[in-house]
Amino acid sequence: MTAIRALHPLPAGTDPAAAAGLAGTLLGPVAALTPEMGLSPMLFAFGAAIIGGFGRFGGVVAGAVLLGLVEQFGGGYISTNWREVFPFAAMLLIIAFRPEGLFGGEARARL
Amino acid sequence: MLASDRRTGTAAPGGRRAAAAGGLPPVYGRRHYLTVAVVLAVIALAGAGNTGNMYQISVFNTALTASVATVGLYFAYQLGGMFAFSQAAFMGIGAYTSAILTPEHGFVFAAGVALIIAAVLAYLLAFLLRDAKHMYFAIGAMAFAEIAVLVFRNWEVTAGPTGGGMLYGIAPPSVAGYEFATSGQIFWFLLAVLGVVLLLSVLLERSPLRRHALAVKAIPQVSESNGIDPRRSAMTLFTYGSTLGALAGVLQAHSLGTIAPEAFEVGVAINLYLMLLLGGVGSMWGGVAGAFFLTWLPEFLRPVKEYETVVYSLLLLATIVLFPNGIVGGVAWLAEKVRHRRRGGRSSGVTTHA
């Protein structure tokens, strides 16, 4: 039997909120700031998490990097006008053929 | 009992009694038809006095259009179990197709082609994402929606590179030579279309497809072992719901006369979700109630001026807290409370839904 402390020193929402705050700080210098700016980066982040597979931290990072690369290379080699379409098309195709993301499904702890 | 089964749940005992008394066999879910008539009559009475007032009637027209889209969302999301964040994108597909085809081919043909294209795309999307569950499907639908908006904004056919995807001067709807030119005439046209949509939806509500969908939602393994294909019912309902979304887009394009890509972004789909949730996901009537509530709310808040956004948000929060089952759920609960008191404490067990 293993005892897991039910009361983490910080409530579970704090970490992600802090990470989101950091992401916002990093986004500030490269994008226009408006109160309504949140939705499209959020969708992008969701997409990255989904195609990486929620299961692994590394998968999420890989997903985010992959989406960024698809956007830039698509824009560079295929068509500049349709640059923004490529990451969404990639999301759609990855979910279609790997419905649980590239690197597997639910979050699991190795015991 | 599932929340969405409430209406049929209350109707069944009465029907059984009638059958036992030697009457005709009960018609499953017959009360829906009465509700369609009542809903249409209430909207007609509320709107009839305002057909002369351009502004007031245009709010009615917006609410009617949104109703069609939210009823579609009810089928795709609540019955089909698909997170249809693509609903606004399908509105856009309907709106652009119909707006582009109308000058050459006329309204009815253009609208028909728009619905067929939307239905085919919806089925393809559902087929592509057939193995994706919950959030995975949601992200797939959102990605589809983003692609659709980008296409409206960049494609030559939708005046993308030159006009930013804005189309102007779309002809008002005309059927068999009669043109619904003024906002007042468009109101009656939209009401008639909503009536047809509600009747079609009632047929679907009474069909085996709905029972299959509910069974799949409640106990997927058991329903599959009983020969119900869980994907088939979900894909059919998603296609139907998305096609209704496209119909709402067609109506919007021709009643406003102008469309822009911004009107079909994911945020708009989330707003449609809000309407459905506020109205009550338990039945398709929730979609209609929520669409009217959310469209009229800002109009009622005009007197508070600069605090409008704050009061609006507080009222939304209050509605969600006070009516966890939506407006329709809350009204049903109140009606049951009153009936309960009159009968002196005999409960029919209707309020026990989660």
The pLDDT tens digits of the residues spanning B37-86 come to: 888 888 888 888 777 778 888 889 999 999 999 999 999 988 888 888 89
Q: How many domains does chain B have?
A: 1
Residue B241 confidence (pLDDT): 94
Lowest-pLDDT choice from B18-32, B130-144, B239-253, B312-326: B18-32
Structure tokens at A87: 């990451």
Res A33 pLDDT > 70: no
Identify the H or E element spanning B90: helix B87-105
CA nearest B153: which of B168, B164, B162? B164
What percent of chain B has pLDDT above 70?
Answer: 88
Q: State how far residue A74 is from chain B, nearest Cα, in angstroms.
A: 14
Q: Are B60 and B187 in contact (CB under 8 A)?
A: yes
**Residue of A42, A54, A88 for testing the chain B interface, max B β-carbons within 10 Å:** A88
Query: Are B132 and A96 an interchain contact pair (Cβ–Cβ within 8 Å)?
Result: yes
Res A14 pLDDT > 70: no
**Coarse DSSP helix, strand, coil percentages of chain A, rounded to the nearest 5 percent:** 55, 0, 45
Pairing verdict, β B178-179 and B174-175? antiparallel
**Which of the four pLDDT bands, split at 50, 70 and 90, describes residue A8?**
low
Residues from chain B contacting residue A88 (CB–CB below 8 Å) = 143-144, 146-147, 150
**Which of the four pLDDT bands, split at 50, 70 and 90, describes residue B25?**
low
Mean pLDDT of A16-45: 68
* ipTM score for this prediction: 0.73
More confident residue, B253 or B218: B253
Helix boundaries (H) for chain A: 14-27, 39-52, 57-73, 85-97
Domain ranges of chain A: 40-103
Residues from chain B contacting residue A91 (CB–CB below 8 Å) = 139-140, 143
Give this prediction's pTM: 0.81
Name every residue whose Cβ is closer than 8 Å to that of residue B19 and which is 6 or more positions away in sequence: B25, B26
Mean pLDDT of A83-104: 82
Query: What single-letter DSSP state applies at residue B106?
Result: -
Residues from chain A contacting residue B266 (CB–CB below 8 Å) = 39, 43
Residue B304 confidence (pLDDT): 77
The pLDDT tens digits of the residues spanning B219-239 come to: 888 888 888 888 888 899 999
Contact A38/B at CB under 8 A: no
**In whole numbers, what is the pLDDT of chain A averaged over residues?**
72
**In whole numbers, what is the pLDDT of chain B averaged over residues?**
83
**B101 lies in which domain range?**
3-352
**Coarse DSSP helix, strand, coil percentages of chain B, rounded to the nearest 5 percent:** 75, 0, 20
CA nearest B68: which of B262, B318, B249? B249
Residue B94 confidence (pLDDT): 94
Q: Are B263 and B309 in contact (CB under 8 A)?
A: no
CA nearest B165: which of B147, B173, B153? B153
